[in-house]
Amino acid sequence: MTRGTVVSAHARVVLAGALDTKSDEYAFVRDRLAASGIASTVLDFGVLGTPGMHADIDRCAVASAGGSPLVDIASRGDRNDAMVVMASGAAAEIHRLFDAGEVAAVIVLGGSNAGYVMGRICEALPIGIPKILVSTIVAGDTRPYVGTSDLTMMYPVVDIAGLNSISVPVLARAADACIGMVSGATTAEGVTTRSVAASMFGVTTACVTAVHDALATSSIETHVFHANGTGGRTLEALIRSGMFSAVADLTTTELADELLGGVCSAGPGRLEAAAATGTPQVVSVGALDMVNFGARDSVPSEFDGRLLIAHNPAVTLMRTNAEECAELGAILARKLNAAETFTEVLVPAAGFSQISVEGAPFHDPEADRALIEALRRDLHDHIPLRVLDTHINDPRFAAEVTRTLSRALGLTEGTAS
């Protein structure tokens, strides 16, 4: 489990569901867990019907935690509004239990509403706490439910609509999986391993690999996140959870996709978590020389005439121009200026990626200079900016990143060699 996660010996599996329509199924899972000596806390996020079983946390408490009395939700007759309130309340109640060390795992059963509620619950819990969703919705696009969590999903084959010869084995296996997860779970309390988060793209792999290998000699873990949108969102979420001793955000390409509508945007909150949490960070401009689109015919017509190359049949890269690079430099500076703890910016002036070095298709010194000048102009004096005469995959650049990370780690937990 994640750094700081503490689960007491009295922790229970939280069974969160709409007990007006799914009580038989929840009772079955509760009893299956109990037969293995694992206790449950039942939470009801139903709204209209009569609950079919007792809830330890009833729907009135859930609605109140979500910010609206249950009677008001029911009277409005707005299903969407009701689910937003109840999902928020369920997440808040489970987070309260988690803070008290009383959550061993969470199980949610149902359809799309159950998936939505579980998505909000996942946001309230760290990686390592088992989260199991049994829902017909997992046969489709699961991104809204998974988010950046370690959610385990099971397709029930038939709808969660009673106990029968198909649903019973599925629910039994879900309960058994939870039993295994809980029985085998260990906490990270007392773990002293230092860890660094790093962002990487294919065109910055050599740099990040070299940093990873250098840190490993000092027994420092490096957790690498693919800067493909989902990776950046996950990186930001885990920084906020306090998992990392420092961040090597060397591949900030997702900012370019957010600015220009590429497919690898991580959203407007990218590159903000470290500053918000006081996590030491070393930042670079890896792959800000490009924007990612899908197949060639998916590139928006507004970019007709731009320099494009096919990364593969499904991915087309567009070179960022000088104007866009200047704006990206300003965005970087604005986000990093909020940092009050160790933050340094290292820029490889001879190429931001494998394909923008001299002789490569995206080599454009004018565009690169525009980004560097924007950083020089807009970064506050308390944020050091070092421009190196190397490209990003040059071993000398990786060595300088490692030395800088060593100083960052030395501020809080000793110095890496």
Of the residues 131, 163, 184, which one is the last residue of a structural domain?
184
pLDDT one-digit tens code per residue, 290-329: 999 999 999 999 999 999 999 888 899 999 999 999 999 9
In a domain, residue 3? The reply is no
Q: Are residues 21 and 162 in the same domain?
A: yes
**The tokens of 213 are what?**
């290998």
Is residue 417 a part of any domain in this protein? no
pLDDT value of position 8:
56
Do 235 and 310 reside in the same domain of the chain?
yes
Question: Domain with 77 in it: what CATH number?
Answer: 3.40.50.12020
pLDDT above 90 for 158: no
Q: How confident is the model at residue 136 (pLDDT cuts 50, 70, 90)?
A: confident
Which pLDDT score is estimated for 22?
A: 92
Q: Are residues 157 and 36 in the same domain?
A: yes
247 & 311 share domain: yes
Least confident span in 57-71, 109-123, 137-151, 366-380: 137-151
Same domain, 244 and 288: yes
Asked if residue 362 and residue 230 are part of one domain, the reply reads: yes
Q: Final residue of a domain: which of 133, 149, 184?
A: 184
Which has the higher per-residue pLDDT, 148 or 99? 99
Q: How confident is the model at residue 277 (pLDDT cuts 50, 70, 90)?
A: very high
Mark which of 160, 184, 208 sits at the end of a domain.
Answer: 184
Look at residue 414 and tell me whether its pLDDT is greater than 60: no
Do 376 and 239 share a structural domain? Answer: yes
Instruction: Kindly state the tokens that stand for 90.
Output: 């369920």
Structure tokens at 284: 């670079």
Say if 416 falls within a structural domain: no
* DSSP element (H, E) containing 224: strand 221-226
Encode 376-414: b = buried (16+ Cβ within 10 Å), e = exposed: eebbeeebebeebebbbbbeebbebbbebbbebbeeeee
Q: 412 vs 315, which has greater pLDDT?
A: 315
Of 401, 383, 395, nearest in space to 347 by CA:
401
Radius of gyration of the chain from its Cα atoms, rounded to whole angstroms: 24
DSSP 137: G
- CA distance readout (Å), 153 to 8, 27, 86, 92: 25, 20, 21, 22
- pTM metric for this prediction: 0.72
What integer is the mean pLDDT of 200-207?
A: 95
Q: Is residue 60 part of a domain?
A: yes
**Per-residue pLDDT at 9:** 61
Domain of residue 245, residue span: 195-410
Tokens 């998992």 belong to which residue?
Answer: 243
Is 240 contained in some domain? yes
pLDDT at position 191 over 80 = no
**200: domain CATH number?**
3.40.50.12030
Question: Looking at the 3D structure of the chain, how many domains does it have?
Answer: 2
Give yes or no: residues 95 and 26 share one domain: yes
Among residues of the chain, what percentage have pLDDT more than 70? 94
Does 35 share its domain with 82? yes
pLDDT > 80? residue 373: yes
Task: Kindly report the length of the chain.
Answer: 417
Residues 179 and 220 in one domain: no
- Lowest-confidence segment of 184-188, 225-229, 274-278 by average pLDDT: 184-188
Task: Give the pLDDT of residue 16.
Answer: 96
- Mind listing the pLDDT tens digit for each residue in 92-101? 999 999 999 9
Query: Residue range 48-56: average pLDDT?
Result: 92
Query: Do 46 and 151 belong together in one domain?
Result: yes
Q: What is the pLDDT of residues 234-267, one digit of tens each?
A: 999 889 888 899 999 999 999 999 999 999 999 9
Number of neighbouring beta carbons within 10 Å of residue 186:
10
State whether 371 and 285 are in the same domain: yes
Residue 237 phi/psi, 5° resolution?
Answer: -65, -40
Q: Which of 147-161, 267-281, 283-297, 298-312 has the lowest mean pLDDT?
A: 147-161
Whole-number average pLDDT of the chain:
91
Looking at residue 365, its pLDDT comes to: 97
Kindly report the backbone phi and psi dihedral angles of residue 361, in degrees, each rounded to the nearest multiple of 5, phi listed first: -65, -25
